[in-house]
Amino acid sequence: MSAHEHRLLYERLVHAHWRELYAYAYRLLCSRAEAEDAVQHTFLQAWKSIRQLQSVSSPRAWLYTVLRRTCWRVMEHSDTVLTTLPADFADPKDHHRQFDEQDLVSKALSRLERKFRDPFLMVAMEGLTCREAARELGIPLGTVLSRIARARERLEYLLAQSHDATETRTTEQKPASDEAGSGGDR
């Protein structure tokens, strides 16, 4: 493959995967700057490995592996946890409700142990098969399946708690006029 063909392959990879890689990095790092740096590092590694990358069966999975490891290194050296998603991921028709739901999901994901969160995100967000996730993580397929199931159970529990807490806060914040039953302008 010529240098020109390598450059075209690289440009196709960037064009095809930049946005999804950035979204994934942002969900892990909760920082636009750190997510951009992590994605840039990933594509730098892709450029350096472009000759080997052309023979990889799934360049997308390879990119996610590099990105995930880069994000892990960043998280190990900071106190970053999942907190919120950027507003541009929300549905513009229902911005506030969608953002609140994404915030709850992100917080619930941040409370999962890494051994459950990683396979769950690899399959749910990255689009890897369970078999691919098992290979990437170096663990048996059955372990991946059970960890994803446990992650889902834990997320359901955490989200139910979050919704209950939100409803409690909403009820507690009602104006005094509503509680007393005074009519006012309705």
- 130-159 confidence digits (pLDDT tens): 898 898 889 999 999 999 999 999 988 988
Q: Where are the domains of the chain?
A: 1-80, 83-173
Burial code (b: 16+ CB inside 10 Å, e: under 16) for 81-90 equals ebebbeeeeb
pLDDT at 27: 79
Q: What is the DSSP letter of 169?
A: H
CATH number for the domain running over 1-80? 1.10.1740.10
pLDDT at 153: 92
Residue 124 scores a pLDDT above 70: yes
List, for residues 11-67, the tens digit of each pLDDT value: 998 999 999 899 888 877 878 888 899 999 999 998 888 888 777 778 888 888 889
Tell me if residue 139 falls in helix, strand or coil. coil
Average pLDDT taken over every residue of the chain: 77
42 contact partners, CB below 8 Å, separation of at least 6: 21, 63, 66, 67, 70
pLDDT at 174: 52
Q: What is the mean pLDDT of residues 155-174?
A: 70
29 contact partners, CB below 8 Å, separation of at least 6: 35, 38, 71, 74, 75, 80
Residue 92 scores a pLDDT above 50: no
Q: In angstroms, what CA-CA distances link 70 with 21, 31, 36, 39, 116?
A: 12, 14, 11, 9, 19
Q: In angstroms, what CA-CA distances link 84 with 23, 40, 76?
A: 12, 22, 19
CATH class of 83-173: mainly alpha
